[in-house]
Each structure stands twice: as C-alpha cells, then as structure tokens.
Amino acid sequence: MTVLLSIRDLVIAYRRDGIEVPALKGVSLEVLAGERLAIIGESGSGKSTLALAVAGLLARGARVGGTIGWLLPASAGAKAPLSVLPDISPSRGEIGNSGAGSLLATSKIGEGGDHSVISPLEGEMSGRTERGAKDRQPSALATSQPRLGRDIGFVFQDPSSSLDPVIPIGKQIAEVARTHLDLTWPDAYTKAKTLLERVHLPNPDATLRAYPHQLSGGQKQRVAIAAAIAAAPKLLIADEATSAIDTIVQAEIVALIRRLVAEDGMTLIFISHDIALATTLADRIAVLRHGELVELGEARQIIEAPRHAYTRALLDAHLGLDAKPLLDRQGASA
C-alpha cells in the first residue's frame, strides 16, 4: 500500500493565559492510502488536535513543529498534487524546525516507478519551504496543498454547530460541490440530491429545501457527511462524529461511513474515545495518551494482544455486553 500521509515528530502546543499547554508531543505515523485508521484516546490525549492539524484547522496561535507530508495520488487530471503540509503556515505562528533544510532538497522524489508519489519524507521541514519547493518541483508534479473540502472531508462531532442554521440543507451541500468541482448551481443541486440519496436521507427533494433545525441529530450528521464527501475527497476525517447521538443511530452512521469509504475508495481517519466502536470500523488503530502515540497496530492485534499497558487498561475498562457485571463482584465481596 502506498502512503497517503506522513506525519513526523508532530509537536503542537496551545497558548493559554500566557502558558504553553502541549497537546501533541512528537507524534509520528503514516496513513496508508485506502485504509481505515482509528485514532483513539481519552480527553486530553490530543486526538482531536491531530485531526485538526491534518485538516489544517488548527486554531490561531497554536505552536506547530514537525511535518505533515502529503502524497495525494494522481487523480483525474492536472491537479494531481504533491505536497507538503497543510496549514502549518508561517502566518499562523512560530514554526519549529525552521532551520532545517527544505523538503525537496532532502526527500527522494519519484522513487520507484511511481512518479506521482513522493515517498516518506526524510528530514524535517517547515511549511515555509513550499514556495521553494515549487521551483524545484519536477514538472510532472504540480504542487498543490490539499484543500479542506476538496481533498479532505471533515465531519465534526456536533452537526448542529457545523451546519449553518439559516441556509437550506441543499444549498450547504451544493456550495461545496460548486466551489470544488466548478459546477453550475443547477448541476451542484443535482449533485446535492444524489448525495442525500447516498447518505440515505428520506425524501431528498424535501430535504434539499429543509433547514438544519427541521432534522434530527442523526439526520443532521448524515447531511454533514454528505457535505464532507461532496467533492469526492481522498481523505475523510470523522472527529467523534457519532459521540453526540444515541447508540442505534451511531451504529447506522458507522455503517454509512463504512459503506461510503468502501464505495469511493476513500481513506478514513476515525477519531473516537470508544475503543469498541473503533474496532468495528478500523483496519488499524492508533492509541494516543497525553499527546503521545502509545501504540499503533492492526485492529485485531490491538484488541487481542495489546502491547502497551495503557491499551490493555482501556480494553479492560470497556463495559461490553459480555463484561463481568460490577454488581456481582460487589455481591461476592459483601
């Protein structure tokens, strides 16, 4: 499998009341093209920060170090992009490792036969070098930063706040299609309707004209997913996308995500606090704790033979339908 995304020594810290609070302390991992990767952890583990960093959505003032390298495979036509880093942009604040050499000076391009892939980056770089990179770029590779919406679809936890309350559903989805696929409004609406059918919303024609408040929580999350995949992104990131909805709807949404990812050949990054939920969806699982990656492996290996004590603790804390009831233990000891 080819590597889609290579994260190296990612360090992110937020500034709060003049004090720097670390969120990620040097995380390195690779996301393979077409895989379903779950990132799990408890509150404060940095899992959402990682998702936001990959999507280029970090808050202003966050201090970022390390690299996020993109190797978007050549898709239909000219826009086949290389590229480094989403938005570790200079305008956003200080960047670590800015003294390091430029990416393209140190990385091997076009290794092997595949010219549309830049393979795992060596050395460190900062976002600053993108312009420099362009100059030295072999002509076969147009540089382009992955764009949220077009190359990355992002589904947030709370669809009530990620959807605009005063714009009809259809327009919100059509807008994404129009912006990223250069469609006319009528075409974009047709596309929106198809998308609503794909996410199994009843009566797509009526839903196009509906406003978010007229839908249930689960339906809103389906709309958010439709908008996220409108431009056929290569990567779909779901950040606790099912945490705010009840168990039955959660299972439906997970099934929907699984189907869409399979149909479109998307890569999935699924952020969750629930290790059991993650295993129902993911090929590989990364376990984060206090901003560090404690374990990364195949889903089966993680649940059957966890190597790290923390992973084991998470598994033991899970109260499944086959777990030993706490009540019995109490009764036995009383």
**Paired tokens of 79:** 């826009």
* Residue 330 contacts other proteins per CB under 8 A: yes
C-alpha 72/C-alpha 118 separation (Å) is 9
Q: Looking up tokens 């420099």, which residue turns up?
A: 132
| Contact residue for other proteins among 2, 116, 190, 280 (CB under 8 A) | 280
| Contact residue for other proteins among 273, 283, 292, 308 (CB under 8 A) | 273
CB count, 10 Å around CB of 304? 9
* Residue 251 contacts other proteins per CB under 8 A: yes
97, 126 in Cβ contact below 8 A? yes
Q: Contact letters (x/-) for other proteins, 125-164, by CB under 8 A?
A: ----------------------------------------
* Residue 327 contacts other proteins per CB under 8 A: yes
* Residue 314 contacts other proteins per CB under 8 A: yes
* Residue 206 contacts other proteins per CB under 8 A: no
Nearer to other proteins, 231 or 261 (CB): 261
Helices 185-198 and 217-228: angle between axes, nearest 10 degrees: 130
Helix (H, G, I), strand (E, B) or coil at 27: strand
* Residue 319 contacts other proteins per CB under 8 A: yes
- Residue count, binding to other proteins (CB under 8 A): 39
* Residue 32 contacts other proteins per CB under 8 A: no
Largest CA distance in the chain: 75
* Residue 77 contacts other proteins per CB under 8 A: no
* Residue 203 contacts other proteins per CB under 8 A: no
Nearer to other proteins, 177 or 302 (CB): 302
* Residue 313 contacts other proteins per CB under 8 A: yes
Instruction: State how far the alpha carbon of 145 is from the alpha carbons of 152, 164, 205, in Å.
Output: 11, 26, 35
* Residue 274 contacts other proteins per CB under 8 A: yes
Nearer to other proteins, 128 or 318 (CB): 318
Beta-strand relationship, 235-239 and 152-155: parallel
C-alpha 67/C-alpha 325 separation (Å) is 45
* Residue 321 contacts other proteins per CB under 8 A: yes
Name the minimum Å distance from CB 24 to other proteins: 18
Nearer to other proteins, 136 or 213 (CB): 213
Helices (H), the chain: 47-55, 103-106, 130-136, 159-162, 169-181, 185-198, 204-209, 217-228, 247-264, 275-279, 299-304, 309-317, 326-333
Instruction: State how far the alpha carbon of 203 is from the alpha carbons of 61, 128, 185, 213, in Å.
Output: 44, 48, 21, 16
118, 110 in Cβ contact below 8 A? yes
Helices 217-228 and 169-181: angle between axes, nearest 10 degrees: 10
* 3-state helix vs strand vs coil in the chain, percent to 5: 35, 25, 40
| Contact residue for other proteins among 11, 80, 100, 249 (CB under 8 A) | 249
Query: Could you tell me which stretch among 79-87, 147-155, 186-194, 240-248 binds other proteins (CB under 8 A)?
Result: 240-248
Name the minimum Å distance from CB 207 to other proteins: 17
Residues lying near other proteins in the complex (CB under 8 A): 16-18, 42-43, 216-217, 245-252, 273-277, 279-280, 303-304, 313-315, 317-323, 325-327, 330, 334
